[in-house]
Amino acid sequence: MPDLILHGGKFTTLDRGRPTATAVAIGDGRFTHVGEDRDILALAGPSTQVIDLQGRSVLPGLCDNHTHVIRGGLNYNMELRWDGVRSLADAMAMLKRQVAVTPPPQWVRVVGGFSEHQFAEKRLPTLEELNAVAPDTPVFILHLYDRALLNAAALRVIGYNRDTPEPAGGQILRDGEGNPTGLLLAKPNANILYSTLAKGPKLPFDYQLNSTRHFMRELNRLGVTSVIDAGGGFQNYPEDYEVIRTLARDGQLTVRLAYNLFTQKPKQEKDDFLRWTAGSKYRQGDDYFRHNGAGEMLVFSAADFEDFREPRPDMPAEMEGDLEGVVRILVQNRWPWRMHATYDETIRRALDVFEKINREMPFDGLHWFFDHAETISPESIDRVAALGGGIAVQHRMAYQGEYFVERYGAKAAEATPPVKRILESGVKTSAGTDATRVASYNPWVSLSWLTTGRTIGGTSLYPRRNCLDREQALRMWTENVAWFSNEEGNKGRIKPGQLADLIVPDRDFFACSEDEITGITSLLTVVGGKVVYAAGEFVAHDVPPPPAMPEWSPVRRYGGYAAWADPSAARTPVAASGCGCSHGCRVHGHDHIAAWDSQVPAGDLKSFWGSLGCACWAV
């Protein structure tokens, strides 16, 4: 007897034996039957939940092959997201409102997920504009891997002054008297940017739990049901994993998460991996929270950050020796690994090491792979294939493509990364985002980039011959990712026996226009046979988390990826089920359309919406 039946849908299963269906039955967290309405509905028992999909299209749940949910979740509620905002004027209006409600000693942070090219103005704010909007509240804005903008209040709090020495690999811009202006540059690595961000206030543990739940809910809103977490700088194991472990223990994960361990200590990488392989077992955990091996940082001497505004960095001579020491430990302990590598020059040198070790200690099916690989050559792709490795691509070029073209030319950008060539070679490949500090976590931006070849700023990077069709792109975000977490046959398709993860998008991915792809959200997201997000006609099935904490959190007002400025919501306000309000508010998400929110006096959300009779704004 199924726990859940979904019927009346148009299912794209990605199962080549049965590519379409109208209904599914789910039991014990897995698909038990996939077929037609009359056959599936006949399986229902008295306790079976039945949901009519009303002719909507259905896709397998999306899986991000490279993201930083564990780190990002700790801070999500503190961050003002400019992801998807189309004008700098709107972005600065959001910033001004957030400054007005952010109490001291807190900062206002805009941490990645956007590019100046997405704005109509095609520029970042000036430091003068930041100081005018926020004379007293510290503001930190991170733009990709290249720079951070700090207002004068942030400089005062952090303590940067004329006596602050220049950081290794970075630059503090100064005025004629040697005083920092507020602009920090990565030259060539981002350590100065991230070490400065790390100086800001942190949320208490209970707030971090709440923050991570809201980040997962935002991913669910966009159709993400599973991720591979690539670790991240300033993310220590096991200390910074306690929040996600607690949520996993308490059954509160709404996104499946496989995590890699990322070394934090230059020149001590071997010590980290010796300790971790002695105390952790590969694949320990369950289908919701599981260890996935090493990386993306294996050794600091091999980290080639992709700031395309700067020349390609040459890796030091000690790279091969450092890398060999770590990879030998991993092969001995049968741990898979992932390795950050932007440029083919780095990849070739790493492959020399891998091939040497493989001759002495065969990899024998270990699922190792390169991340990013923007400029990987055909020769390197063939070498990866010969070693049985994979290549995990992310949509960083959608955010930085203009800078790549400026430095290397449009011709070089036509196959950066060469996704079509990788697929044709037979090398395992899949797609992700590398969110949240560079690109956005929105999977539909990646799916648009893969199928159209355009950046978020509208630049056409790839000729059509180098783009994927929509089914190929969808497979890159579903069944292909399973190899990278060693879960082939367990997820990625709507097929009996596989994990019951699916989404009902708000428009048909295969039929909508190219310009609509980045605007897709989910109306119903199911993970393990349980509804984890519902909106629109399915909102009655929603079970939201508690309101975002703290009460000044930008999530309360703006939500996530461009949620505050959804033009379709502005045209047709949706009255919330049980709210009794007709003012366009979206129940449970607590984000209100721009047309109404623009009238809210700063810091007075509760009284404003209360005066309109809105009962769903929770503070």
**What's the order of all strands across the beta sheet hosting 224-229?**
62-67, 224-229, 256-261, 289-294
Structural domain ending residue among the three candidates 166, 181, 197 = 197
User: Do the domain assignments include residue 26?
Assistant: yes
Residue 168, pLDDT score: 87
Whether residues 89 and 42 share a domain: the answer is no
Residue 586, pLDDT score: 38
Residue 565, pLDDT score: 61
Q: How do strand 530-534 and strand 289-294 relate by DSSP bridges?
A: unpaired
Write the DSSP string, 229-244: E---TT--TTGGGHHH
Residue 346 CB-half CA count within 13 A: 26
Whether residues 110 and 181 share a domain: the answer is yes
Structural domain ending residue among the three candidates 197, 213, 228 = 197
Residue 566, pLDDT score: 52
Whether residues 10 and 117 share a domain: the answer is no
Whether residues 18 and 92 share a domain: the answer is no
Quick: pLDDT tens for 502-534.
999 999 999 999 999 999 999 999 999 999 999
DSSP SS3 for 104: coil
Residues of the chain short of pLDDT 70, as ranges, are 564-619
Whether residues 21 and 122 share a domain: the answer is no
User: Do the domain assignments include residue 550?
Assistant: no
Contacts of 551 (CB under 8 A, 6+ apart): 619
Residue 8, pLDDT score: 98
DSSP SS3 for 12: strand
The secondary structure element, H or E, covering residue 50 is: strand 49-52
CA distance 198 to 195: 5
Q: Are 274 and 263 in contact (CB under 8 A)?
A: no
Domain count, the chain: 3
Whether residues 49 and 117 share a domain: the answer is no
Q: Given the structure tokens 């909102």, which residue do they identify?
A: 539
CATH number at residue 174: 3.10.310.70
Whether residues 83 and 178 share a domain: the answer is yes
What's the Cα-to-Cα distance from 552 to each of 72, 296, 312, 431, 557, rounded to whole Å? 18, 34, 41, 34, 9
Whether residues 45 and 137 share a domain: the answer is no
User: Do the domain assignments include residue 425?
Assistant: no
User: Do the domain assignments include residue 560?
Assistant: no
Whether residues 135 and 88 share a domain: the answer is yes
The dihedral built from the CA positions of residue 404, 407, 408 and 414, taken in this order, carries a sign that is positive
Residue 145, pLDDT score: 86
CATH number at residue 534: 2.30.40.10
User: Do the domain assignments include residue 20?
Assistant: yes
Mean pLDDT of the chain: 91
User: Do the domain assignments include residue 270?
Assistant: no
Whether residues 145 and 179 share a domain: the answer is yes
Question: Nearest to residue 73, comparing CAs of 185, 174, 203?
Answer: 203
Whether residues 85 and 185 share a domain: the answer is yes
Whether residues 183 and 121 share a domain: the answer is yes
Q: Specify which residues 428 forms β-bridges with.
A: 390
Structural domain ending residue among the three candidates 166, 197, 228 = 197
- 198 CB-contact burial (10 Å; exposed 0-12 / middle 13-18 / buried 19+): exposed
Residue 177, pLDDT score: 96
Question: Nearest to residue 74, comparing CAs of 437, 528, 534, 544?
Answer: 437
Quick: pLDDT tens for 42-60.
999 999 999 999 999 999 9
User: Do the domain assignments include residue 588?
Assistant: yes
Domain of 54? 4-61+501-541
Length of the chain: 619
Residue 306, pLDDT score: 84
CA distance 443 to 446: 5
DSSP SS3 for 518: helix
Give the pTM: 0.92
CA distance 86 to 566: 11
Instruction: Supply the DSSP symbol for 300.
Output: G
User: Do the domain assignments include residue 419?
Assistant: no
